Amino acid sequence: MKRRALNTVSPGAGAAIHVVFILCTLACVIPFLIVVGVSFTDERIVMRVGYRLIPRVFSLQAYKFLALDIQQIGRSYLISIIVTGVGTVVSLIMTALYAYPLFRKDFPYRRFFAVFLFITMVFNGGLVPFYILYTQYLHLKNSLIALILPYLLNPFYVIVMRTFLTGSIPDSLVESAKLDGAREITVLFRIVAPLALPAFATIGLFTTLMYWNDWFMSLLFISNRQNVSIQYYMLKTMQNIQFMLQNPSVAFKVNRSAMPSETVRMAMAVVGIGPIVVAYPFFQKYFIQGLTVGAIKG
C-alpha cells in the first residue's frame, strides 16, 4: 500500500479546504461589490427595495452630488496622499532604527529600551495631555505634521520587526560585516534591511492603512477646511447631509430627491478605498512572506 507524504492531504480534505477558503473569499468580496452596486443605484430604488448587488436602476446621482465639491475632494485626496506617503516612509525608518538595536545582543542599553517600549504599550497619558502637548507646546495645530507625528512609531510594529530580525538574520552575518569594516548604519540599511523586506512590506501595509483611514487627527488638530484628510471630509459630508435631512428648519429648504443619503454613503466608501485597492497588489507578495515567516522550519 502506497503511503501518502506527510505534507499532503487527502482529496476530500483538500476539496473541503478549498470550499472553506472560497466561502471566506466570497464573504469578503460580496459586501464590497454590494457597496459599489448601491453607489450606482438610484436613491429612490434603494429606499424602496433595499440594497442589491446589481443596480435595478443605474444612476450616477451619488457621484454627481460628490462632484459638486470636486475641488475640495481633490485637495483632501492630496492631503491624504502626502500624509500617508511621508508618514509610512518615515515610520518604517524609525521602526527599523528602534528595532535594530533591540535585535543586537551586544547593545548595552537593550533591556532598558525594551522595557521603555513595553511601558508605552501599557500606559497612556490620555487625550487631554495629548491635545495640549500638540497644540500648546509643539504648536502643530492646522499643520500636516499633526497628522503624521502621532503614528510615526508604533510599539507593536517595533516588536514585530525585532522578532523578524531575530528569527531570520543570523548574528554571524552581522559580525562578518563588522569585521569587514562596515559601520552600524551600513549594516542596517545595506545588509539587514534588504533581507527584511517581508517585514517592511507587512508593517508598511498596516501603516499605510492606518494613515489613510485616519480621520480622528483631522478632527482634533485641523480647523482649516482646506487641510483635512479625505476620510474626515467624507465623514463631515455625511454628517451635514444627515443634519439637513433631519432638521425641520433646514429640511424644507433642500430638495430631498437631489440629495441622496444611502447611495452617497456608498459612493464615499468607494472613493475613499480606491487608492488602497490599487496599492495592495504591490504589497501582497512580501505581505504573505511576512505572515508566513517562521511558520515552516527546515
pLDDT tens by residue, 103-122: 988 888 888 999 998 898 88
Which pLDDT score is estimated for 57?
A: 86
The pLDDT value recorded for residue 97 is 92
Confidence of residue 280 (pLDDT cuts 50, 70, 90): confident
Task: Round the average pLDDT of the chain to a whole number and report it.
Answer: 83
The pLDDT of residue 83 is: 94
* Spatial separation of the C-alpha atoms in residues 52 and 50, rounded to whole Å: 7
Residue 170 has pLDDT above 90, yes or no: no
Instruction: Please state which of the ranges 1-5, 228-232, 255-259 shows the lowest mean pLDDT.
Output: 1-5
Confidence of residue 156 (pLDDT cuts 50, 70, 90): very high
What is residue 66's predicted lDDT score, i.e. its pLDDT?
Answer: 86
pLDDT of residue 289: 58
Sign, CA torsion 251/254/259/265 = negative
Query: Quick one: pLDDT at residue 50?
Result: 83
Q: Report pLDDT for 291.
A: 53
Q: What are phi and psi of 277, to 5 degrees?
A: -60, -35
Asked if residues 102 and 158 have their Cβ atoms less than 8 Å apart, the reply is yes
- Give the mean model confidence (pLDDT) for residues 175-203: 86
If we measure between CA atoms, which residue out of 213, 81, 217 comes closest to residue 149? 217
Report the range of poorest mean pLDDT among 16-30, 129-143, 165-179, 210-224.
165-179
Predicted local distance difference test score (pLDDT) of residue 92? 94
* 51 vs 43: CA distance, rounded Å: 10
User: In the predicted model, is pLDDT for residue 295 greater than 50?
Assistant: no
Cell match 444627515: residue? Answer: 242
Using alpha carbons, select from 205, 281, 268, 234 the residue that is nearest to residue 79.
Answer: 234
CA 287 to chain centre: 13
pLDDT > 90: percent of the chain = 29
> How high is the pLDDT of residue 248?
61
Name residues whose C-beta falls within 8 Å of residue 198's C-beta, 6 or more positions apart in sequence.
164, 286, 287, 289, 290, 293
Cα(273)–Cα(114) distance, integer angstroms = 36
Lowest mean pLDDT among 1-15, 163-177, 210-224: 1-15
**Cα–Cα distance between 52 and 49 in angstroms, integer?**
8
Given a cut of 50, whether residue 297 has pLDDT beyond it is no
Entry pTM:
0.83
Distance CA 264, CA 39 (A): 6
Residue scoring higher pLDDT (180 or 285) = 180
Residue 11 has pLDDT above 70, yes or no: yes
- Of the chain, the percentage scoring pLDDT greater than 70 comes to 86
Q: Taking the domain 61-292, which CATH number applies?
A: 1.10.3720.10
Residue by residue, DSSP assigns the chain as -PPPPTT---HHHHHHHHHHHHHHHHHHHHHHHHHHHHHTB-HHHHHHH---SS-SSB--HHHHHHHTTHHHHHHHHHHHHHHHHHHHHHHHHHHHHHHHHHH-TT-TTHHHHHHHHHHHHH----HHHHHHIIIIIS--TTSTHHHHGGGS--HHHHHHHHHHHHHHS-HHHHHHHHHTT--HHHIIIIIIHHHTHHHHHHHHHHHHHHHHH--HHHHHH--SGGG--HHHHHHHHHHHHHHHHH-HHHHTTS-GGGS-SHHHHHHHHHHHHHHHHHHHHHHHHHHHHHHHTTSS--
Q: Provide the pLDDT for residue 211.
A: 93
pLDDT confidence of 219, banded at 50, 70, 90? very high
The C-alpha angle 102, 214, 38, rounded to 5 degrees, equals: 135
pLDDT confidence of residue 3: 54
pLDDT digits (tens, 9 = 90+) for 227-242: 899 999 988 888 887 7
